[in-house]
Structures are given as C-alpha cells and as structure tokens.
C-alpha cells in the first residue's frame, strides 16, 4: 500500500506544473488568438480559445508552480516524502509542453470538424500530459528518465483523466467553463 501511495504522490507532484497551465489559460485568456483568425480548408486553424495571453500566462503559472513546489520540498522531505525537485528546464518543458499539447489537439479537433467546447474523448484528457512529457524529454531528458518510472507513467495516465474531468466539472459549476467536460 505504501508503494501505491508513493507512486500516486509522485505522479501528482510531478505533473502539477503540467496540470495548472490550461486552468490558468482559461482564467487569463482572451485577446489575440494564436491563429490570428486564419483558416485551413475552410475551418479555423485553432480557434478563438487558443490565445497568446492564455498560453503565456499558463506557461508562467506552470513554471511558478514547479518553483513553488521546490520551495516546500525540504519540509515534505523532513516528514518522509521522497519527491524529485524540478529543474528549471523540466518546469518549462512540462508547463509549455502542456500548453503546446493542448494547441496541437485543438488543431486536430478543428480538422475533424469539432467546434470549440465539443468533447474529443481521450485527446482532451491527455493532450497536455503527452505534450508536457515530450517537451520535458527535450529540455530535461535526465530528469524525465529519473522521475517518470513506469509505475509513475501508468499512474499519470490513469489519474489524469479523472482529475481532468473533475476540475472541468468544478470550473463549469463556478462559471469558468461553458460545458462540464
């Protein structure tokens, strides 16, 4: 049981800098869309939901979360937690990669004819995870190899859809999202 708790704690800790950016982007977005309103094949490339401001603030928030977690790590270590500190490269990779993963998914969502807010099952729940991990691999490969053990990766891919759906439902109830998914 202790091993399961350790793996789940590591998975959540490690992914927090990737979990936060899209939520912050919803709160701080608006402004100029990344695609500038351009279309491809008669459809918007990304849509109004992907903005420079949201991407910038989301990335900064994810990096800030990682740095904040680093500051509380000594306290957690004293009470027995065995968690990995974030290098700046890992923090940037996870945070920016989460935003990039969501942007890439939006591109494919538009190509498939889905409008903004329409569900894209599995992709909606995991795009930012894949983007975050891939960018972190590029910027901090040793950190990723040391941190994302197979059990942690499995936990991330099981927990993330549950957390994603729960936070989206909460954002809907609070009026931050137009749909609960």
> Within a domain: residue 124?
yes
Q: Where are the beta strands (DSSP E) in 61-177?
A: none
Residue 179 lies in a domain: no
How far from chain centre, in Å, is Cα 76? Answer: 23
Which helix (H) or strand (E) segment is 85 a member of?
A: none
Asked whether residue 180 is domain-assigned, the answer is: no
pLDDT at 1: 66
Q: Is residue 142 part of a domain?
A: yes
Q: How many domains does the chain have?
A: 1
Is 181 part of any domain?
no
β-sheet bridge partners, residue 40: 43
d(Cα 14, Cα 11) in Å, to the nearest integer? 5
The Cα–Cα gap between 120 and 151 comes to: 26
Secondary structure class of 36 (helix, strand, coil) = coil
DSSP 179: S
By residue range, what is the domain housing residue 84? 2-173
Classify the C-alpha dihedral 140-145-147-152 as positive or negative: positive
Q: Is 25 contained in some domain? A: yes
Question: Per-10-residue mean pLDDT for the chain, 181 residues long?
Answer: 90 97 89 93 91 97 98 94 95 99 92 81 89 98 97 96 87 82 73
């Amino acid at each position: 049981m202790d091993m399961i708790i350790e793996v789940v704690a590591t998975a959540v800790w490690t992914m927090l800098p990737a979990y936060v950016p899209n939520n912050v982007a919803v709160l701080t977005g608006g402004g100029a869309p990344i695609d500038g309103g351009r279309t491809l094949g008669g459809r918007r490339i990304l849509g109004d939901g992907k903005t420079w401001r949201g991407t910038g603030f989301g990335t900064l928030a994810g990096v800030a979360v990682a740095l904040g977690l680093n500051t509380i790590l000594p306290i957690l270590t004293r009470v027995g937690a065995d968690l990995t500190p974030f290098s700046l490269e890992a923090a940037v990779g996870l945070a920016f990669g989460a935003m990039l993963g969501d942007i890439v998914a939006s591109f494919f969502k538009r190509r498939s004819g889905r409008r903004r807010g329409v569900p894209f099952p599995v992709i909606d729940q995991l795009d930012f995870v894949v983007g975050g991990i891939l960018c972190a691999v590029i910027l901090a490969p040793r950190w990723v190899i040391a941190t994302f053990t197979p059990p942690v990766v499995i936990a991330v891919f099981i927990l993330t859809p549950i957390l994603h759906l729960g936070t989206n439902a909460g954002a809907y109830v609070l009026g931050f999202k137009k749909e609960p998914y």
